[in-house]
Structure 1
């Protein structure tokens, strides 16, 4: 069962990260998929789905104790291929998972859209440049 809810930005412990209070993309709503949803959608086992999360091919967050992934991270029945490298870059630059999730789902002024939407539009290099610049 998918769930649609706003991913509510919270104050970040790093005050130079101004994007944490930006409006959420796509009309303030994100569709969230649970691990069982992903198992059905991707046609793989729960352990394989969890491995995708561990390997940074997907990013998940816990909501009410349940691990969830934004549906926008899936394209054509597979994890968005551009996402993994972006997540690795963000991890290397000391973004927490919550910071990475917030940034990916919120409109970024430099991009003019949410980074996930820019990735879906094929703007991978630009998204990664902005993520790299925000780390400093």
Structure 2
């Protein structure tokens, strides 16, 4: 987990602390930490708080956004750092349209994962 650049602070509109994520998912904080290790979620340390924070867009109500874990795995397999993965997920893409994380939220995960896979070639 890395510290966050100012550019990413602007790209990601809302954040949740790990205890907030655990509460929303009805899990203990230790299980939420395990989700990070399993690449089900991604967290970074924000400059002002120094605590692990997860983009709020990664949760869809009381569950993890459908398609996010597979996308995070593809990005990690392509050697994306946490910050690079966040930048890719939250940077607008005219061809989607919107951002990859918005496309995941709109159940267009197949296209997002196809693009993430293509980054490695």
Are the equivalent residues in 2 in contact too, given 1:33–1:70 (CA < 8 A)? yes
So what's the TM-score if we normalise by structure 2? Answer: 0.84
SS at match of 2:14: strand
What's the counterpart of residue 75 of structure 2? 90
98, 106, 111: which one aligns with 1:113 = 98
So what's the TM-score if we normalise by structure 1? Answer: 0.76
What's the counterpart of residue 16 of structure 1? none
The structural deviation recorded for 1:9 is 4.1
2:34 pairs with 1:35:
no
Q: Deviations over 1:34-86 (max 9, x none)?
A: 01211221221110000011111111111022100011100120111310011
What's the counterpart of residue 56 of structure 1? 39
CA distance in 2, matches of 1:97, 1:43: 25
SS at match of 1:81: coil
Are the equivalent residues in 2 in contact too, given 1:34–1:67 (CA < 8 A)? yes
Label 1:37 to 1:89 Cα distance change in 2 as closer, same or farther (>3 A): same
